[in-house]
């Protein structure tokens, strides 16, 4: 596409190769090597400790001076590139801003087209649902899918999907009526599950599994209650169980024991032993 706003450029950018000349490099390197050799050969003791520290300090000072100079040279060499880099970023920023503007318009246009198509599909749905009696159970939101709003998905294909969905839904709801018979609770459970899955087989399986689980829970609860009653009855029987004791008392204590038993309303049988 030829556009007068889009001109072809060869990007006339001139690069002058930077050159850093370190004229004293060899001399300073040799000096550093000689100094380093001397320092390594010296055995540090109390007599030369001060001199050794001074030599090391001098070496470090020279290295610091050279590093400072290196940073100055680096900044000088990179200065033209930094300026060029900012120029490129300025151009890129202008292009990206325009790109974002176009993308926003494209996105808004696509959303507008999807909304218009959704309304068109809703009108078709309203016309066809009049021939069915389940609008209160399954509505437009249950049918519509994202693919139906895509530009590549034709209205005729959407309408075919709608007809199939309406017929399948009617048949599935009729099946629910048949299998639930007069069990309104079972029917309501099936309808709720079908609204979630839109799959009659899965809806029936899910409801049956849930009912079986509830039945097991109820049976377990009943068994626990029966066991609790049996345990309580056993405790009560143990408490009320009659135990017979044979107590022998001297004749002189007989009247005292007898009086105690009567006062506490304890059943007893007295028998005199020969």
Gap between the Cα atoms of 28 and 23, Å rounded:
10
| pLDDT score of 91 | 85
Gap between the Cα atoms of 135 and 127, Å rounded:
12
Q: CB of 186 within 8 A of CB of 207?
A: yes
**Helices assigned H by DSSP within 144-252:** 146-149, 155-180, 184-197, 200-240
> Domains of the chain: which residue ranges?
38-115
| pLDDT score of 36 | 80
Residue-wise pLDDT for 80-123, tens only, equals 888 888 888 998 898 899 899 999 999 999 999 999 999 999 99
CA 206 to chain centre: 26
| pLDDT score of 14 | 67
Is the pLDDT score of 237 beyond 60? yes
Is the pLDDT score of 245 beyond 80? no
| pLDDT score of 4 | 55
Gap between the Cα atoms of 159 and 146, Å rounded:
14
Global pTM?
0.56
| Nearest-5° Cα angle at 153, 121 to 140 | 30
Q: How confident is the model at residue 7 (pLDDT cuts 50, 70, 90)?
A: very low
Gap between the Cα atoms of 175 and 181, Å rounded:
10
Is the pLDDT score of 126 beyond 90? yes
Q: What is the mean pLDDT of residues 38-65?
A: 80
Is the pLDDT score of 37 beyond 50? yes
Q: What is the mean pLDDT of residues 137-152?
A: 95
| pLDDT score of 8 | 53
Token pair for 269: 């049988």
Gap between the Cα atoms of 34 and 40, Å rounded:
10
Is the pLDDT score of 29 beyond 50? yes
Average per-residue pLDDT in the chain? Answer: 86
The percent of residues above 90 in pLDDT, for the chain, comes to 46
Q: CB of 225 within 8 A of CB of 214?
A: no
Gap between the Cα atoms of 55 and 44, Å rounded:
12
Instruction: Specify the residue for token string 């006062």.
Output: 263
Stretch (H or E) spanning 128: helix 49-129
């Amino acid at each position: 596409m030829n556009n007068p706003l889009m001109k072809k450029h060869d990007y006339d950018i001139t690069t002058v190769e930077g050159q850093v000349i370190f004229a004293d490099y060899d001399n300073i390197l040799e000096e550093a090597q000689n100094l380093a050799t001397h320092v390594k050969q010296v055995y540090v003791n109390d007599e030369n400790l001060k001199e050794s520290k001074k030599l090391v300090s001098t070496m470090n000072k020279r290295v610091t001076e050279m590093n400072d100079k290196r940073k100055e040279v680096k900044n000088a060499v990179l200065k033209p590139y930094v300026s060029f880099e900012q120029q490129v970023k300025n151009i890129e920023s202008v292009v990206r801003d325009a790109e974002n503007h176009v993308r926003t318009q494209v996105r808004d246009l696509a959303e507008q087209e999807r909304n218009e198509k959704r309304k068109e599909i809703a009108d078709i749905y309203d016309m066809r649902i009049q021939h069915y009696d389940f609008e209160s159970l399954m509505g437009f939101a249950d049918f519509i899918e994202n693919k139906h709003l895509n530009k590549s998905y034709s209205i005729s294909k959407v309408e075919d999907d709608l007809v199939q969905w309406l017929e399948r839904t009617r048949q599935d709801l009729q099946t629910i009526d048949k299998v639930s018979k007069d069990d309104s609770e079972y029917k309501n459970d099936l309808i709720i599950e079908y609204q979630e899955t839109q799959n009659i087989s899965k809806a029936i399986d899910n409801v049956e599994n849930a009912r079986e689980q509830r039945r097991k829970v109820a049976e377990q609860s009943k068994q626990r209650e029966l066991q609790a009653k049996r345990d309580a009855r056993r405790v009560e029987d143990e408490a009320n169980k009659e135990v017979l004791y044979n107590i022998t008392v001297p004749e002189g204590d007989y009247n005292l024991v007898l009086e105690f038993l009567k006062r506490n309303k304890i059943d007893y049988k007295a028998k005199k032993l020969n």
